[in-house]
Structure 1
Amino acid sequence: MEQKELQILCEKISIDLFGEVFRHEVRFNNKLRTTGGRYLLKTHDIEINPKYLKEQGVDAVIEIIKHELCHYHLHIKGRGYKHGDRDFKCLMKKVGAPRFCKPLTTVKRVKQSYKYIYQCSTCKQEYKRKKRMDISRYACGKCRGELILKQEIKGS
């Protein structure tokens, strides 16, 4: 799918589902990594992650466009366009837009690693940390008990 086809698709979805014209630009952005698309508040343009087209097909791109058009049309009208706003949630439900897109399988998710495990000497609550901390300056957030270094993981 080329840029021009993407623009035509977006304009068609806007008229069919929202009953309004999309007057701005939609384009692919190769720099998007963690999201399927985004609506740009200043320019009113929409950017789509091309990896979704390659991996999940046109249907995934249509779902992303529907979601971004919800942001677009509500923002243009001066109504609640953010994810938590009631207007946004109602419009998404009305047009069948997804809240999130399916994650890409080609993108590697980095597992959070930790080096230190601290434990409360009173309630046994565990705290996993990447960096070493001065336990004389901190207490347990649950019971205010004293923290001890339970384990230091080597080689992470």
Structure 2
Amino acid sequence: MNDMNLQQLVERLSQDHFNKPFFDEAIFNSRLRTTGGRYLPSERRIEINPKYFVELGEKELIGIIKHELCHYHLHIEGKGYRHGDLEFKALLQQTGSPRHCQMLPSARKSFYLYNCLQCGQLYKRKKRINIERYRCSRCKGRIDYANL
């Protein structure tokens, strides 16, 4: 999907779910890291993170677009378009738009799970530890990788 296809999809979703036309620009922005999309009120432009389409598919992309269209249409009408505003929350519910997008599978952090061989205490760590060097903080028993 390219920017032209995205523009057509945004225009179609705006007409279908909001019964209002979308006159401005919608583009992919690959520099977005922590969000699925954003609406820039000063430029009246919607930017979408392309990773969400690649990793989670069209259904998630449509949800993100509908969310950003809620910001867009409320801003144009001069109503409360920010996340905390009641009008924004009401429009999200009316259109079936998600409040937040899912976490990207590529952004999920993996972790290591260890357990004590004597008392069974579990330890969850982001970094690997040397099991020969460290002991259980509860009973001073040996630690090993957890088999879950």
TM over 0.5: yes
Cα separation, 2, equivalents of 1:80 and 1:22: 18
SS in 2 for 1:46: strand
Aligned position for 1:71: 71
Cα separation, 2, equivalents of 1:99 and 1:26: 20
Matches within 5 A, 1:88-99: 88-99=88-99
How many Å apart are 1:109 and its aligned residue? Answer: 4.5
Aligned position for 2:49: 49
Deviations 1:106-140 (A, max 9, x none): 025599xxxxxxxxxxxxxxxxxxxxxxxxxxxxx
Cα separation, 1, equivalents of 2:64 and 2:109: 21
Aligned position for 2:22: 22
Cα separation, 1, equivalents of 2:60 and 2:31: 18
SS in 1 for 2:38: strand
Matches within 5 A, 1:1-156: 1-109=1-109
- Identity among equivalent positions (%) equals 52
Unaligned 5+ segments in structure 1 are 112-156
How many Å apart are 1:2 and its aligned residue? Answer: 1.2
Cα RMSD for the two superposed structures:
1.4
How many Å apart are 1:105 and its aligned residue? Answer: 1.1
Distance 1:44 1:109, change over 3 A: farther
Cα separation, 2, equivalents of 1:10 and 1:51: 17
Unaligned 5+ segments in structure 2 are 112-148
How many Å apart are 1:63 and its aligned residue? Answer: 0.3
Return the TM-score normalized by structure 1. 0.69
> What code does the residue aligned with 1:22 have?
F
Cα separation, 1, equivalents of 2:60 and 2:13: 13
SS in 2 for 1:32: coil
SS in 1 for 2:105: coil
How many Å apart are 1:96 and its aligned residue? Answer: 0.2
